[in-house]
Amino acid sequence: MSRAVPQRTDEELVEAIAQADEDALGELYDRFGKVSYGLAYKILQDAALAEDAVQEAFLQIWRGAGAYRPERAKASTWLLTFVHRRAVDLVRREQARRTEPVIAEPQGSDPGADDAAVARSRREIVQDALRRLPAEQREPIELAYYAGLTQSELADRLEQPLGTIKSRMFTGLQRLRVLLAEAGYESA
């Protein structure tokens, strides 16, 4: 992507979307469509369902852009929250028909754009920070986030009391935040 022209910030794009600016929606997709789809696919392991989750998340942004509060969350965080929630809702619906949760191995990825290097370095920083979490904190976080397990399912699966799971997730996320900050991580 050429950066020659001063770009609107992500937050400015959401403001424009609130004014029904379709180009801004397209631009937001160009920036976050891939990470959104990668996340949805990882959770759902199904291309059609992953596209549905991403489409619905972007439409939620389209409908709700007027309610966006930039001081509460970055635009990308806000979007990815929608993508994740939608994907988790879909995978739970699917899993009601399956017996075992789908826990994916990473797929070969093809970012395929000039931003690939940035995306790779961001990915590596996050993966590295995750690896540095104690396993007892990393496991419930990964199973919740990437496989859509509820906290009760986590307690069963990891054979720990629910209270322990809750506090490990909380401590793990706080620690992850610190690790990311130390690694100079900046979300988009």
Partner 1 sequence: MSNDPHDLLAAYALDALDDDERERFEAHLPDCEECTEQLALLREPVAALAYAAEGPVPTKELRDRIIESARAEPRAAVIKLPRRKWALEAVAAVAVAAACLAIGLGIWAHSLSNSLERERSANSVVEQLLAENATAKPLLGANGSLIVARNGEAALLVCGLAAAPSSKTYQAWVITGKTPEPAGLLSGGSGCRSLALTRPVPSKATVAVTLERAGGATSPTLPILFRAEAT
Please, which of residues 128-187 interact with partner 1 by CB under 8 A? 129-130, 140-141, 144-146, 148-152, 154, 162-163, 166, 169-170, 172-174, 176-177, 180, 185, 187
**Is the CB of 89 or the CB of 98 nearer to partner 1?**
89
Write the CB contacts of 123 (distance below 8 Å, at least 6 apart in sequence).
none
Q: Does 18 bind partner 1 (CB under 8 A)?
A: yes
Stretch binding partner 1 (CB under 8 A), from 1-9, 34-42, 93-101: 34-42
Rg (CA), the chain: 17
**Out of 102, 126, 136, 158, the residue judged to bind partner 1 by CB under 8 A:** 126
Closest distance of CB 6 from partner 1, Å: 21
Q: Which of 36, 49, 90, 139 binds partner 1 (CB under 8 A)?
A: 36
6 versus 112: smaller Cβ distance to partner 1: 112
Establish if 8 lies at the interface with partner 1 (CB under 8 A): no
Q: What is the largest CA-CA distance in the chain?
A: 54
CA distances from 178 to 120, 181, 182 (A): 20, 5, 6
Binding residue for partner 1 (CB under 8 A) from 10, 13, 31, 41? Answer: 41
Cα gap 50→176, rounded to integer Å:
26
Instruction: Give the footprint of partner 1 on residues 49-88 (CB under 8 A).
Output: 50-51, 54-55, 58-59, 62-74, 76-77, 80-81, 83-85, 88
Residue 102 or 126: which CB sits closer to partner 1? Answer: 126
CA 148 to each of CA 62, 82, 89, 153: distance values in angstroms, whole numbers, following the listed order = 25, 14, 8, 10
Rounded to whole angstroms, how far apart are CA atoms 38 and 116? 13
Among 12, 46, 102, 122, binds partner 1 (CB under 8 A): 122
- Separation of alpha carbons 157 and 149, rounded Å: 9
What Å distances lie between residue 134 and 15, 97, 98, 110, CA to CA?
40, 33, 30, 30
Among 94, 123, 157, 158, binds partner 1 (CB under 8 A): 123
What is the rounded distance in angstroms from the CA atom of residue 184 to the CA atom of residue 149?
30
